[in-house]
Chain A
């Protein structure tokens, strides 16, 4: 390998990138835009959920019970028309996600000390939201019950009941690393995983396949430049752009989204470099397999989407996935990097704990780059 030739090739790539203003702008603006839009949009906070109340009791008590849900920021009142199937239609056309049915004799039952039944129908089509919404309904219901108990006891007698009877067990919960349970604290750093999985592979795959498609690769084929030198020439500028993107996003997450960084700066920077090398290697692998830029764009994009949503553990913990999916997840570097992001960035753990993941990323990068080198041919059949 001749270092001068590698640098010449990398320099040529850098000049090409610099000349294409729109491309350069997009390569840096895109990660930022994605980060900001996703950090605000991929919220898991439960707010403004449409709720239809069917109150067949129509008493002050039942109205107060319903108000207990609607007065929180979690639920808003959804209007429903026509008597019979009104809850049903609102759930079907998506105006509401919950229909709360309060039966007749609600007030009378409570006053008589009998349990009063309320039925909540939750739209189960979106399983994740359904579970969370159920959790909030239960929590609000429990709070109403506690208030009811206290009032009854206060009103009910000469003897003031001891606190232990109203609430025998009390749970004090403290959330570490994210005391207010802000969803952005979880989402924003995780987006480093997503964005660095999207952008570097796309940039490198397109830049290699462009030469194949335009035939410029024949210049390389007829020259003394080796495959390794050619690939390194492509790799270096993309890795530089990717790492620069990673550092930029890191700063934005800290400054703009005020998510405190608790780990060691050089260690996390090392993780970013290894991850960008690994994802760029994936891009090279794609470029070895395809002939057209159309295919390169589509395959890198869709792979990134699939890996980020299914094989990284971003939306849901990987241990709940099927064994096949867990095995497939090992084929991509995203899960390891996400574990590092959550561990190093948010929990402040160090290399002493996360060295296996870092080592896995490094091994992954070496392996995938070696594989791309083995599969790549200067002479294409195109």
Chain B
């Protein structure tokens, strides 16, 4: 019994010491006005800005039209390419001039309707239409081609129906978008932005704070105090995770759900607990990075090396499953890869604990590994 109470007393003191260190971290952060201002910015204004982000879709894409037929049929076709996707304008039938306009980026594509277009119809032949797409941006190039293709296919189906006596079989594919039926860009963009900001802040804040202690030599003072390396590391991780948790609560509750109407389909308790776990995991990675650096310049570069692939390749900005295999294996080590599934799952899809249990467990395991590695390296460097 006395052994147990001694243990409890010891644990209490241990935790009080960590809490004191956490308080010190917060005071230090609050004194850095530029940094505080920036942290406030990324969780409020920046999320609002993200709501107006550009979307990958065609809007009034300038398409040049060369109508060599000038018939009813060709005008009908040109009339189908309309707003909001296309802005069709007649251009001179002059190859050099058209090439120049494509080169300048004034036209996204040029559609040429040959002079025997209508006659081909009348004779029951296939009428050919040419589309030349400027594909320096392959995404937009693909969209221009596939939208045009879709429009022409509809037109062709109507012609077929009007002429054939036989009814031709057709599969009608109806597509519905789940979880964001109107594909509201702001929902996706603000969540992506929040994930990016949480990640950058969670990794950078503790890493930079850690290296500052090294550079100034205050780390020696901490080490001669009756504190274990684990306490020092844990305090940094907890302090910065706390900042991130408060920031995300404001960002999700006030800005996204309150102001922008982004849905919050799942349980808030589940979500914010996982945010805290994620922030600690990412902070652990920051601590590991800091043990490899001696100066702030170095830590900045090391952290960039980690943060940029993590934020860009974990599935918010790209299709994870379409990456090459070796990169998919590497990105499995990114905690954000799991947190992306968790966040979109809980916020938009209404996922419960069971649905996110697997990514959450993998994320926590990564977090523990980072913490263990960070503490071990830290201990070795200063003993």
Partners in one complex: yes
| B317:A347 contact, CB within 8 angstroms | no
B235: CB under 8 A from chain A?
no
- Cross-chain contact B173 with A172 (CB below 8 angstroms): no
Asked whether, in the complex, the Cβ of B146 is within 8 Å of the Cβ of A339, the reply is no
Given A173-B145, A202-B304, A347-B134, A115-B196 contact (CB < 8 Å): no
Q: How far is the CA of A168 from the CA of B153 in the complex (A)?
A: 9
A251, CB-defined interface residue at 8 Å: no
**What residues of A have a CB within 8 angstroms of the CB of B348 in the complex?**
125
B18 to chain A, nearest CB (A): 21
Q: How distant is the Cα of A134 from the Cα of B295 in the complex, in angstroms?
A: 49
The answer, among B42, B133, B142, B327, for a CB contact under 8 Å with A302, is B42
When each residue 30-57 of chain B gets 1 if its CB lies under 8 Å from chain A and 0 otherwise, what string results? 0010110010001000100111111111
Instruction: State the Cβ distance, A324 to closest chain B Cβ, in Å.
Output: 6
Contact at B168–A152, with CB atoms within 8 Å? yes
Interface size bracket, A side: 35 or more
How near does chain B come to A64, taking the closest CB pair, in angstroms?
11
Q: Is B218 located at the chain interface by the 8 A CB criterion?
A: no
The distance in angstroms between the C-alpha atoms of A164 and B121, with both chains bound, is: 7
User: Is B128 located at the chain interface by the 8 A CB criterion?
Assistant: yes
Contact B304 A30 (CB under 8 A): yes
Binds A, one of B63-71, B158-166, B271-279, B369-377: B158-166
Q: Please report the C-alpha to C-alpha distance between residue A20 and residue B215 in the assembled complex, in whole angstroms.
A: 14
A302 vs B303: C-alpha distance when bound (angstroms)? 12
B34 touches A290 (CB 8 A): yes
Most buried by A among B135, B159, B200: B135
Q: Is B313 an interface residue (CB 8 A)?
A: yes
Cα of A316 to Cα of B55 in the assembled complex, Å? 5
Judge whether B177 and A169 touch: CB under 8 Å: no
Which single member of A22, A49, A124, A209 contacts B183 (CB below 8 Å)?
A: A124
B253 at the binding interface (Cβ < 8 Å)? no
**Pair A181/B142 contact, Cβ less than 8 Å:** yes
B169 proximal to A (CB < 8 A): yes
Residue interface bits A192-229, CB-to-B below 8 A is 1, else 0: 00000011001100110110011000000000000000
- In-complex Cβ contact of A309 among B169, B196, B323 (8 A): B196
Give Cα A41 to B327, complex, Å: 7
Residues in chain B near residue A125, CB distance under 8 A: 179-180, 187-188, 344, 348-349
Write out the residue numbers on chain A whose beta carbons fall within 8 Å of the beta carbon of B125: 162-164
Write out the residue numbers on chain A whose beta carbons fall within 8 Å of the beta carbon of B141. Answer: 175, 178, 181
A127 touches B104 (CB 8 A): no
CA distance A115 to B171 in the complex (A): 6
> Is B177 a contact partner of A124 (Cβ separation < 8 A)?
yes
Stretch with Cβ within 8 A of B (4 or more), from A89-97, A268-276, A358-366: A89-97
B171 pairs with A144, CB closer than 8 A: yes
Q: Are A321 and B52 in contact (CB under 8 A)?
A: yes
- Cross-chain contact B309 with A34 (CB below 8 angstroms): yes
Q: B33 to chain A: closest CB distance in Å?
A: 8
Is B169 in contact with A325, judged by CB distance below 8 angstroms? no
A65 to B172, CA, bound (A): 12
Task: Assign chain B's interface to a size class.
Answer: 35 or more
Per the 8 Å Cβ criterion, residues 162-193 of A in contact with B are 162-179, 181-183, 185-186
Q: Which residues of B contact A342 (CB under 8 A)?
A: 105, 136-137
**CB nearest neighbor in B for A182:** B138
Asked if B248 CB lies within 8 Å of chain A CBs, one says no
Complexed CA–CA distance, A349 and B121 (Å): 40
Chain A hits for B317, CB < 8 A = 42, 309, 315
Cα distance A42–B300 in the bound complex, in angstroms: 23
Question: Contact at B35–A168, with CB atoms within 8 Å?
Answer: no
Partner of B52, one of A119, A138, A324: A324
The reply to whether B188 and A137 contact each other, CB–CB distance below 8 Å, is no
What's the nearest-Cβ distance from chain A to residue B329, in Å? 12
Q: Which of B1-9, B88-96, B204-212, B224-232 contacts A (4 or more CB under 8 A)?
A: B204-212
Q: Which residue of A lies closest to B173 (CB)?
A: A141
B124 interfacial contact with A, CB 8 Å: yes
Could you say which residues of chain A place their CB within 8 Å of the CB of B312?
38, 41-42
Q: Could you name 26 residue pairs across A and B whose Cβ atoms are closer than 8 Å?
A: A47-B321, A50-B321, A89-B355, A91-B349, A93-B355, A115-B170, A115-B171, A116-B170, A120-B173, A142-B149, A148-B170, A153-B166, A170-B127, A174-B131, A292-B35, A296-B300, A297-B300, A298-B200, A300-B300, A302-B200, A310-B193, A315-B54, A320-B54, A321-B54, A342-B105, A348-B103
B residues with CB within 8 A of A: 32, 34-35, 38, 42, 46, 49-57, 59-60, 77, 102-105, 120-121, 123-143, 145-146, 148-150, 152-153, 155-156, 159-160, 163-164, 166-181, 183-185, 187-188, 193, 196-197, 200-201, 204-205, 208-209, 211-212, 215, 293-305, 307-309, 311-313, 315-319, 321-324, 327, 331, 341, 344-345, 348-351, 355-356, 358
